[in-house]
Amino acid sequence: MTQVTVIDYKAGNLTSVVKALRHLRAEVVVTDRPEVIEGARRVVLPGVGHFSATRRLDETGITPAVRKVIANGVPFLGICVGMQWLLTGSEEAPEQPGLGYFHGWCERFPEGTEKVPHVGWNQILVRTSSPTRLFVGVEHHEHVYYTHSYLVPTTIFRHGSDPHHPVNPMAAGTRYIKMFAAAVEHENVMGVQFHPEKSGATGLKILKNFLEFAC
C-alpha cells in the first residue's frame, strides 16, 4: 500500500483530499509534525484560502522539513495554495515568502469583464513538448475544478544544472482571462492549481499518477 503524508497546517478542510487518497487505497497519515514529514515516503500539501496561512509552515518548522524531503527525492504534491507556495511568493501576501523552489510570483487575475475568483470546471491543456508523469492518461481539454483568485504565471522557472538554460516546470495550462499554470512538475516536485479531489474521474487519475510516481 502506498503511504502518503498529508500536511495539516490548519488552512482549510483536509477531509476531501484525505478521502480521495484513501479511495485510491493509499495509507494516509495526517500530520503537522516536522519529524513525521521528514520520514515521509510521499507528501501532499493541500491548502485553500489566503497565502498568508502558509506562515504557519515556517512557524512550526515544517518548511525546512519539506526542503529536506524534496532534496531527498520524495514525491511532493502541492494543491492550490500548496502549489502557489512552491514559488518565491505571492502578491496576496508579499511579506510572506514561499518555498522558492520555483522562481516567480503568484499574481491576481487581472480585473476586467470576467469575474474574479475563477470558480468552476475549466479545461486543461497538457504540455506536449516533453512528457509529464502527472497527466499520464489524461486527455487534452479534460475538465478540472478550480476555485482561486491568484494564479501561478506561465513564466516561472527553475535553475537546472545549466545556469544558462532555466527550466520551465509548467506541465499544464488553463485559460481564464489569461493563460496560467494549471500544474507544475519538475523532477519529484509537483503542484496543481485545481482541486483533483473535486475533479471527478480526471482528478482521481491525476492523484493516482502521483501515488504511482516513482523517483
Q: Smallest gap, in angstroms, from Cβ of residue 14 to other proteins? A: 10
DSSP per position, 62-118 = HHHHHHHHHHTT--EEEETHHHHTTSSEETTSTTS----SSB-EEEEPPPSSS-SSE
179 sits near other proteins (criterion: CB under 8 A): no
200 sits near other proteins (criterion: CB under 8 A): yes
Nearest residue to 38 (alpha-carbon basis) of 16, 79, 67, 4: 67
Q: Closest CB to other proteins among 86 and 144?
A: 144
122 sits near other proteins (criterion: CB under 8 A): yes
* 117 prior amide bond cis, ω within 30: yes
CA–CA separation, 75 and 161 (whole Å): 20
143 sits near other proteins (criterion: CB under 8 A): yes
Q: Smallest gap, in angstroms, from Cβ of residue 58 to other proteins? A: 20
The piece of 38-46, 164-172, 186-194, 196-204 that touches other proteins (CB under 8 A) is 196-204
159 sits near other proteins (criterion: CB under 8 A): no
8 A C-beta contact, residue 82 and residue 51:
no
Among 48, 136, 167, 179, binds other proteins (CB under 8 A): 48
Given the residues 38, 80, 142, 185, the one annotated as active site: 80
DSSP per position, 120-189 = EEEE-EE--SS--STTTTPPTT-EEEEEESEE--TT-BB--SSTTSPBP-EEEEEEESEEEEEEEEETTE
Q: Closest CB to other proteins among 73 and 137?
A: 137
67 sits near other proteins (criterion: CB under 8 A): no
Q: Among this protein's residues, is 148 annotated catalytic?
A: no
Q: Interface residues with other proteins (CB under 8 A)?
A: 11-13, 15-16, 19-20, 23, 48-50, 115-123, 143, 145, 147, 175-176, 197-201, 203-204
